[in-house]
Amino acid sequence: MRLPVTGLLVLALTLSACGKIRESRLNPFNWFGRSEVVEVPAEGVVPGRPYDTRILVSQVIDMEVAPYPGGAIVRATGLPPTQGWWKADLVAENSGFPVDGVVTYRFVIAEPLTPKPVSTQQSREVTAATHLSNVKLTDVQQIVVVGAQNSRVSRR
């Protein structure tokens, strides 16, 4: 009779510990929260890349850091002034390594080949993504995506 009671006690304690794992930093779904807007002045040219003629997207309207096996995917949505902007990319500063716990990406896009009209916001949105390995994520506390008018940041 003692064995089932002991087994139930062990099971109850084990299940109660599962709630703590959900809040733990070991759980990859807790790595980064929702992004928030940060107003930051930024330069329009990508430093260190004189051959890259792309410019910063006007606004970064959304950013998400999603875990995947082996690291995380950083996805950002930007809003250029008109339709037709292309070749979107998240360009890592400092080769993608964190500086004081912060990894910064510049959201760059190429101008339209032919002038396009201004249309609805949904038709102008441009999305870019990149990945971070677990090795680079070990020292990361914040991920920042920079646009021309604003930036978005996601913190652990």
Please report, for the chain, the start and end positions of each structural domain, with discontinuous segments joined by +.
Answer: 1-27, 31-155
Burial label for 62, CB within 10 Å (0-12, 13-18, 19+), is middle
Q: Which residue has the higher pLDDT, 8 or 140?
A: 140
Query: Two tokens at 120?
Result: 């609805």
- Over residues 112-125, the pLDDT tens digits come to 988 778 888 888 99
pTM for this one?
0.70
- Over residues 62-79, the pLDDT tens digits come to 999 999 899 999 999 999
Angle at Cα 138 formed by Cα 134 and Cα 141, nearest 5°?
120
